[in-house]
Amino acid sequence: MTKMTYAEAARLALKEEMERDSTVWALGEDLGFEGGMGGQYKDLQAEFGADRIVDTPISEATIMGAAIGAALAGTRPIAELRFSDFAMCAVDELVNQAAKARYMFGGQARVPMIARMPIGIRGGIAAQHSQSPEAWYTHVPGLVVVTPATPADNRGLLKAAIRCDDPVVYMEHKGLWGAEGEGE
């Protein structure tokens, strides 16, 4: 068993899945420039290129809409939404489009994408960056909701989420990013 942080476990899962499947890619704010929140995308743009680790403008609705369209077209995008609070700007796309696509198209369409959003409070980030709306998403038919608790959970569940053919709301607590534990 290998010790690693919660954030390192997620980064390793992303790297392994991107190596395994060329249709896996990520989009969001500052993923390549700063490595994303908690450094979970650090150096991945240098390794996989700017067409697979895509820096976007600050527009959650655009990030989510692009991810859903790309998933319907056959790729496996990871839409990084930086804070779960701001994901509310993309709820229409996630809840009314991605979650319902399989039903609306009689099972002929799949939306294999992840809406990845950090949850919970962390020092110095204020009220608009500290919500935990996971319970909202659990009530939406068509969405899979994941909240990993340990580094091993984060690694394994992120890999499973990437391979899932349904839209996954993947919520990592910001307070766990530095937590250490077994990563396998």
What are the residue numbers of the active site?
129
The SS3 of residue 153 is helix
Secondary structure tally for the chain: helices H, strands E = 7, 8
Give the number of other CB atoms < 10 A from CB of residue 183: 22
The SS3 of residue 19 is helix
Got the DSSP string for 86-135?
Answer: GGGGGHHHIIIIITTHHHHTTT------EEEEEES--TT--GGG---THH
Nearest by Cα to 149 from 115, 175, 122? 175
